[in-house]
Amino acid sequence: MQERPFDLLNKSIGQQVMIRMKNGNDIRGKVTSFDIHMNIVLEGAEEVDDGQTKAKLGTILLRGGNILFISPVSL
C-alpha cells in the first residue's frame, strides 16, 4: 500500500521535524496537529540557521501554503 502525504504527517505527530518555508527560513519543532490545508501546529518551535538556534518561537501555527517541505529530525 502506498503512503499518502497525510499518512506521513500523521506519523509525524509528536515527532521533531524541520520545515523549510518559502521565504527560506528553517523552523524546527514538534508537530502537535495539522489540518487538510497542511497548516501545522508546532510546539517548542525554533528558527534555525546552519543548525544553530536563531530564535525560540514556542508554540506556533505555520500556514500550509508557505511550507516548501517537511523533514524528520534525527536527535
Query: What tens-digit pLDDT sequence spans the chain (75 residues)?
Result: 788 888 889 999 999 999 999 999 999 999 999 999 999 999 999 999 998 999 999 999 999 999 999 999 875
Could you tell me the CATH number of the domain that includes residue 51? 2.30.30.100
Spatial contact of 62 and 21, defined as CB atoms under 8 Å apart:
yes
Find all residues with CB under 8 Å of 65, minimum gap 6, and list them.
Answer: 37
C-alpha cell at 13: 505527530
- The number of folded domains in the chain is 1
C-alpha cell at 71: 523533514
SS3 assignment, position 27: strand
Q: Quote the domain boundaries for residue 64.
A: 5-72
Q: Tell me the whole-structure pTM to 2 decimals.
A: 0.89
**Residue 47 burial (10 A CB sphere; 0-12, 13-18, 19+):** middle
